[in-house]
Amino acid sequence: MPPSNQPLAGQVALVTGSSRGIGFAIARKVGRLGAAVSLCARHSGPLEAARRTLVEEGISAVATQTDLTQKEQVERLVEETRRQLGDIDIAVNNAGIGWFGPLHEASEADWDRVIDTNLKAPFLLLRSVVPHMIRRRSGHVIQIASLAGKNAFAGGGIYCASKWGLLGMSYAAAEDLRGYGIRTSVICPGSVLTEFSSPAGKDPNKMLQPDDVAHVVEMILLQQTQSFISEISIRPAQKP
């Protein structure tokens, strides 16, 4: 049995978009809980800085520069993680981008960029990771979605579509995979204070913090094995 202060000892967690913000907070959280962590992001500089920070804290971490919208790069990410750390027990789809404005003013390139990152990339990672989990009949997939996947807002057409789609895909995957002992969970945060979410017009002290989302990931991963948490919505205690 792993020590009580490191309940994820011996496990491997792959966290996408983990060079900063929510992804980095999640990677640090699962690392502190004992997991070896695989980081990935598009840009090598911030990614390597994130890896060094975790290693200096005593966390086993590797980093792979990856464009998650490219099938070959996702497959390479998974194989590099397995080669360096072992089989993946936890996969967290966190990477995401947004484009905001009236839908009729968006270009096809705007649509493709958001949908490919927020919806296609989680599909590609799930497809690459899950066969190994099925073989071992265990694993946990966590999708970082958004309240925008439930509540539309002006200027959010593409972003809402991507997160609505992610929710639908994840719920279906949960039904596909539960018979193999694989748990699939979704987290839907409100606005989180990161570089992605500008606090313009909001009180940043009242916004969710990356660690708030990381705490929810911890709750999900430490759930008893006879059940799984399918979805958690998280909002700030006060409207920012």
Pair 114, 97: CB distance under 8 Å: yes
pLDDT tens, 82-115? 999 999 999 999 999 999 999 999 999 999 999 9
**pLDDT confidence bin for 200, thresholds 50/70/90:** low
Query: What value does the mean pLDDT take over residues 33-46?
Result: 97
pTM of the model: 0.95
Name the most confidently modeled range: 4-8, 138-142, 203-207: 138-142
Pair 184, 228: CB distance under 8 Å: yes
Q: Is the pLDDT of residue 15 over 80?
A: yes
Place of tokens 């390479």: 76
Write down the pLDDT at residue 117: 98
Mean pLDDT of the chain: 95
Give the C-alpha separation, 90 to 136, whole Å: 13
pLDDT tens, 146-163? 999 999 999 999 999 999
Of 4 and 121, the structure prediction assigns the larger pLDDT to: 121
Place of tokens 């490219």: 70
Q: Is the pLDDT of residue 3 over 70?
A: no
pLDDT tens, 24-36? 999 999 999 999 9
CB atoms within 10 A of CB 238: 9
Write down the pLDDT at residue 50: 98
Q: Does residue 159 have an active-site annotation?
A: yes
Q: Which two tokens stand for residue 142?
A: 């966590």
Place of tokens 């270009």: 107
Q: Is the pLDDT of residue 52 over 90?
A: yes
Q: Is 155 left (phi over 0), alpha (psi -120 to 50) or beta?
A: left
> In Å, how far are 41, 119, 147, 153, 158 from 103, measured between CA atoms?
28, 18, 19, 11, 7
Write down the pLDDT at residue 195: 74
Catalytic residue, candidates 159, 160, 190, 191: 159
Q: Is the pLDDT of residue 205 over 90?
A: no
User: In sequence order, what are the beta bridge partners of 11?
Assistant: none
Write down the pLDDT at residue 201: 67
Write down the pLDDT at residue 164: 98
Q: Which helix (H) or strand (E) holds 212?
A: helix 210-221
What the chain holds in terms of domains, given with CATH numbers, is: 12-234 (3.40.50.720)
Show the beta-strand stretches assigned E in 26-78: 36-41, 61-65
Query: What value does the mean pLDDT take over residues 190-194?
Result: 88
Q: Which two tokens stand for residue 231?
A: 């979805």
Give the C-alpha separation, 167 to 148, whole Å: 10
Q: Which two tokens stand for residue 40?
A: 């990935």
Write down the pLDDT at residue 203: 81
Write down the pLDDT at residue 240: 75
> In Å, how far are 53, 67, 193, 215, 218 from 27, measured between CA atoms?
11, 18, 17, 11, 11
Q: Which amino acid is at 232?
A: I
Give the C-alpha separation, 212 to 225, whole Å: 23
Write down the pLDDT at residue 199: 57
